[in-house]
Structure 1
Amino acid sequence: MSRGTVFTDHSNLYLSGTPFRAIASGEFNEFDLNEFFRAEGIGKDARFKYENEVQKWLDLIRGSFLETTVDNLKMGARKPPFPYSDARLLNVLTHTLWFLPSVASCYAMRNLMAQRQNKFYHDYTVVVAAGNAAGIGVAALEPVLKAMDDPLKTKTITLSCGKLTTGVTVRPWTGIFMLRNSSSPETYFQAAFRVQSPWTLKNPDGQSPNEELILKEECYVFDFAPDRALRQIADYACRLDVNEANPEKKVEEFISFLPVLAYDGSSMKRIDAAGILDMSMSGTTATLLARR
């Protein structure tokens, strides 16, 4: 099974003249996902602190953010695929997990997507797997599976701030959106691996009774804090093989199973091991630094 990781660099995306990074900057001037998706309230009263910006982010991931229209027209067929606008990804991302900072942000996201201007998301059943109301442990899984029903005929988005990110298998999940900070590579990849579980069915048209039809051939991790995410990859990869001293070789082997694609605001490019190590240490690759 192949797996792609897409990173979006918000330092090059502007909302109403204000960069995302300026809206939610954290320590060391890095983009702070927890701050960007900060919310207050529970249930129907939950609201984002930066609701206008989160709304524009929802527009962005489905390719309808107005300030990218000119770039899209210039680039034509070369424009980078957004999760909910590219036909190839739309066909794959019918069931996704969104990993948010808090219970309040999970409910705030559900409330925002339910508003009239977000009609696109109304085709998806949104499940909040957060807080006491979601149940404890595997009990939080039942509403998700119920919403999926026949996964080939439904579309769902599961919102979580920790539940269902370890110890459970939800085979129809094909993508996870990393929308919170995480300093631990183990926590990061435990959550990311939720979408890697194989999804197969017995093939009714197969000649062999045991022949299986592969329903999920690829899955994706979408991360919107590239510096943090690439550090996680570099750190995690370097721990895997204690007999290999060269960190670049360790990362190269790891990304052969987990390709990394970076969107820099105008194009989507695959990053090699050297680029990942450059960005994890300095916040940019040598290529991007030279271009800037």
Structure 2
Amino acid sequence: MKFIEKFNIKKVVIYLLGIMFVTLGLGTLIILGTGTNLMKGTHSNHTSVNDSKTSNLSGINEIYVDVSSSDINIIPEGTSQLKAHLYGDMTSNNKYTNSKIQCYKSGNTLVIKQVEPHINFVFFSSNLKLDVYIPADYNKDIKLVSSSGDINVNDYKLNKLQCNLSSGNLKMNNINADTFNYLSSSGDLKADKLTTKTTTLDSSSGSININAFSGDLTAENSSGDTNIEYADFNNNINVHSSSGEIALTLPKSAEFDLDAVASSGDITTDFPITVSGKDGGHKLQGVVVNDKNKIKLDVSSGDIKILN
């Protein structure tokens, strides 16, 4: 009798009904979101995207490109107008509207933005690309933002270049900019012939590789190798890495003051250095010829190499 008294049948029934309604609700959401028909199965929607916009650059000091799921290609053109062309294929197992681009002026900024389709609870894939044809003689500011896609930019002389990537790779070739800023959550940076006055790099996860480089450098790389090769050198350098090797290649004629710390790793250099501090191979301080240029390298887990 005591067991029967404790066993409340009414409560059990209520709990079971609650579980049933929650299960039915979730199932309905999934079916509606994925476009699944219990009688016909799952269908898929495929479409091709082809959208373009043009704009003149009169009074424009900055070109701002912001996309979510497309690769960005910045292409120099011998014209006076800018043209943006979004193209590729999209596939989903639910209905959606095509991705498009907006192109409008906001003050002295020309904004080029990708407008994504509204899709919920679906499988979605795309191979979209955004080609932005910018006059080759444009020499002001460019800002590129990508949530999920690669960025390629070549052959420009600019005042400022800024590239922000959440997940994707940045490739650059023959870029001359007074200021270059790079921010990446996950992806690699590869640059050849990069000439700047100041460069700032901030990478959470990914490798940094720059060849034929010049300019003052500040870099933070949380996880990944950092390889910088200078074409000519008369600069200050400050590089920190939490996990990854730092390799710095300088001309044989380079002169600098060095402060290098590898908490868990080795430090090696090809330069004859007048040492002022050394700690078991994990710390190296000294001067090569003179201390006009300052080089500070700090790695928590990894080696430091200074090459010529």
Q: TM-score range by the shorter chain?
A: under 0.3
The structure whose residues are more often strand, as a share, is 2
Higher RCO (C-alpha 8 Å, min separation 6): 1
TM-score, structure 2 length as denominator? 0.25
The structure whose residues are more often helix, as a share, is 1
Between Structure 1 and Structure 2, whose CA radius of gyration is higher? Answer: 2
TM-score, structure 1 length as denominator? 0.26
